[in-house]
Structure 1
């Protein structure tokens, strides 16, 4: 759908949107350094300070809470050369258990040791080198190495999928884990203190910002860059482990991987929009410049999409990052039961547990509506349906 004006310097692509989301977006758009406008994606919903699904271009400033506490959260997908018929005899329950064994699932779980897979060492070495080069202090997270290759909780997931051709895909969603969370909270607090120090009146404390040219800004960008790289490599590490287990059970080897897409949906980076250099924050959105591929997942039990950006200038070269929640976790637990979830997951191998009731597809917006609203932002390349699901606990 074409965007609608929803306020000064605010364009909205969502056909179904809450008043609270619009109010948050208007407050963000009213910040003095926005250029040229804030873009609300089709899956937008209330968040911390800024709505999730908001694209925020800023001149010489960054809002740490707008980037969020799960820095670099995003998606990775691997397309294989295999078709559904090639894995007809694959024991999906056994594969799910294999994956759950090699990838720590809950927010508080870490890898017990780092030498289980030979491909892990290079990623850790890269992150160590980047931290040393950039002066990133990770003393607040002494176990960051053990976090690499762990999924976390909430709506993070791992899936085995089939596309419209019945081609097999490996799919997962995660971010920068505990280390990214601590980096984010540290700099959100710094931004709030700086705004208080200079008597800056904010419409919301979580819109506190850091100004370019200050040591605090430079420190945040260095830490942010490291955390975004950690999130990217964390997804790559989990995918390497997932692929390792998959090819073992399928009786093949890793040469079946034919393509890989790894994209952030909570991050900041320098871009040029409307003739000016800005810091472009995608808080729950993917990069969708012309020809750029990205992944837009549905909810547990619904379709996901591999897409290519159309380079919409008014959309700030962005697109939605998923279905977006309709109900809070508490509200979802009031409305739905474990039996409701079982009904929605028929035909999909998953861990049958009441802890996932709040992730039922009904708690999310319709991915079909989100994709229809995004038709001017992206072209759909592939439509995926899951046959196995692993949720973060």
Structure 2
């Protein structure tokens, strides 16, 4: 069996006595340990003879790279100087989040950075952090929930439609949405995404295909939600097919579920092995985009982002079908992702961990809390923010602090005052745990223009 294969076997084949042997054994242990030793050695021999032929291969690509141009593994230190950066709404941001950004700005690969007004401390980059790097992608600069996004679908139904329909709308949310690690839909939906070659070519993704299929159309725990509400469109676009006014809408917030979490875990491990950093910034380890692992993460990240989008589409389709109405307009955006964008005329990797893309003319959604309004926005393309804006109100209290600071009666009163009904939701998601969304929006007038305001009425969250 492959598990009994040793470095001596590879040396006998003619492998150089360097790190390529460790790479080969690691890949075999991870992906081929259940196969016969003879078959594995035969394939390894083929890689040794013509490594270029296996460039980009899911199992052998990393070994081929090690034979052609090995990845340099060396410890990196932080630079003494920070790269240029901007902070928006500095008075609204805790010091820990600022210092996390300051550390990230000293990475040897950093080019520029920004901090959004909803920022608070996280792992690696702070939530609300934006970082541009030179041909390097930081898995924890993207975050665990890859492609976490907002999606709003609007119906050509007036705000008055909801009157007297509390029970019906709550029932739709209860039956058509699933949350957390274990809830899945009984009637699974297929999607063209599952036929993507990445699910076959990248062994990690192949192992996650079943989980992705089961979790399609579901939402995570924590601050993820699906809600009915009223959207007031102050301005409209020519292709919206809606006039200014008040309409019924669905708003959802969730990401790539177990698929994204496993991708983040796997490639963060690889990044930390290849890019040792001082302890306080080890979560900022990066992958060079010109390496096998860097390219593979990039493909996996983009697949996870497309999967998150597919999840929202499925959620909205299920709700629209149950409602018996047709969606007229959908506005959506990622806020945990990395993009190739020009910064100062140079192509960089722009990480937005809890930040909304806001290049000129781009539409997006910035939510508040379960009782606070959310906003439809149009980006203004501000270069100082790296064409970014906040991804929400941002936390004022950590989850642990919120649990001991507020009671169920506090939340009940806040919901009553706002005339909002909620299924699920825990004390860590209490409305009071979040910053004032109006203050957050006020300090980013130079980043986005408000086109509409969404007010939640019926909310579903994890229990």
State TM-score, norm by structure 2. 0.76
Are 2:394 and 1:324 aligned? Answer: yes
Q: Which residue does 1:250 correspond to in 2?
A: none
| 1:195 maps onto 2:275 in alignment | yes
- Provide the C-alpha distance between the structure 2 equivalents of 1:77 and 1:357, rounded to a whole number of angstroms: 25
Question: Are residue 206 (structure 1) and residue 286 (structure 2) matched?
Answer: no
Counterpart position of 1:363: 433
Give CA deviations for 1:43-81 in whole Å, capped at 9, x if unaligned.
010010110001111111011011110000010001221
1:161 and 2:233 correspond? no
The corresponding residue for 2:293 is 216
* 1:192-341 correspondence runs (5 A): 192-196=272-276, 200-201=277-278, 203-247=280-324, 253-254=325-326, 257-341=327-411
Question: 2:370 is paired with a residue of what secondary structure?
Answer: coil
Distance in 2 of aligned mates of 1:184 and 1:298: 27
Give the Cα–Cα distance (whole angstroms) in 2 for the partners of residues 356 and 93 of structure 1: 22
Q: State whether structure 2 residue 122 is matched by structure 1 residue 52.
A: no
Higher alpha-carbon deviation: 368-377 or 237-246? 237-246
Q: Does the residue aligned with 2:160 lie in a helix, a strand or coil? A: helix
Which ranges of 4 or more aligned residues in structure 1 deviate by more than 6 Å? none
Structure 1 residues 218-248: Cα deviation after superposition (integer angstroms, max 9, x where no partner): 111111111111111111111111222223x
Task: Determine the C-alpha separation between the residues in 1 that align with 2:441 and 2:187.
Answer: 41
- Could you tell me how far 1:7 is from its partner in structure 2? 6.1
How far apart in 1 are the matches of 2:294 and 2:259?
19
Secondary structure, counterpart of 2:421 in structure 1: coil
CA distance in 2, matches of 1:126, 1:334: 42
After the TM superposition, which residues 41-190 of structure 1 pair with which residues of structure 2 at under 5 Å, given as runs?
Answer: 41-90=116-165, 92-114=166-188, 120-121=189-190, 123=191, 125-132=192-199, 135=202, 137-141=204-208, 142-164=210-232, 165-190=245-270
1:26 equivalent in alignment to 2:102: yes
* Aligned-pair CA distance for 1:158: 0.8
Q: CA shift at 1:112, angstroms?
A: 3.1
* Pairwise CA distance, 1:109: 2.0
Query: Aligned partners of 1:170, 1:317: CA distance in 2, in Å?
Result: 26
Any residues of structure 2 matched to 1:32-43 within 5 Å, and which? 32-35=108-111, 37-43=112-118
1:245-299 deviation line (CA, Å, top 9, x unaligned): 223xxxxx31xx2211121000012111111001111100111111110000001
For residues 320-339 of structure 1, the C-alpha deviation after alignment (integer angstroms, 9 at most, x for no partner) is: 00011111111111111111
Question: Between Structure 1 and Structure 2, how many residues are aligned?
Answer: 367
Q: Write the deviation string for residues 152-181 of structure 1: whole angstroms up to 9, x where unpaired.
A: 210000111112333211111000001110
Partner in structure 2 of residue 373 of structure 1: 443
Deviations 1:188-232 (A, max 9, x none): 111001113xxx556411011101211111111111111111111
Q: Deviations over 1:291-321 (max 9, x none)?
A: 1100000011111000000010111111100
Distance, in Å, in 1 between the alignment partners of 2:262 and 2:196 is 20
- Calculate the aligned-residue CA RMSD, in Å: 1.8
Partner of 1:389: 459
CA spacing shift, 1:201–1:331, aligned 2, 3 Å: closer
Counterparts of 1:110 and 1:161, CA distance in 2: 24
What per-residue deviation string (whole Å, max 9, x for no partner) do you get for residues 68-109 of structure 1?
Answer: 10000010001221112233232x233222222222212222
Q: Sort the Cα spacing of 1:312 and 1:195 in 2 relative to 1 into closer, same or farther, 3 A.
A: same
2:143, 2:336 within 8 Å by CA — same for their partners in 1? yes
Unaligned runs of 5+ in 2: 1-80, 233-244
Greater RCO, CA 8 A, separation 6+: 1
- Whole-Å separation in 1 of the counterparts to 2:448 and 2:338: 20
Matched residue SS, 2:147: coil
User: How far apart in 1 are the matches of 2:344 and 2:201?
Assistant: 31
Return the alpha-carbon distance in structure 1 between the equivalents of residues 197 and 206 of structure 2.
15
**2-structure distance, mates of 1:358, 1:77:** 24
Cα distance in 1, alignment partners of residues 406 and 202 from structure 2: 48
Structure 2 vs 1, CA of residues 382 and 374 (structure 1 numbering), >3 Å: closer, same or farther?
same
Q: Name the counterpart of 1:17.
A: 93
Q: Report which of the two has the higher share of helix.
A: 2
- Among 350, 356, 362, which residue is 2:422 paired with? 350
Q: Under a length normalisation based on structure 1, what TM-score does the superposition of the two structures give?
A: 0.89
Q: Distance in 2 between matches of 1:389 and 1:246?
A: 16
Q: Give the whole-Å Cα distance in 2 for the aligned partners of 1:163 and 1:98.
A: 19
Task: Report if the CA contact (8 A) 1:95-1:245 is conserved.
Answer: no
Q: Distance in 2 between matches of 1:273 and 1:134?
A: 32
Q: Counterpart of 1:314 in 2: which secondary structure?
A: helix
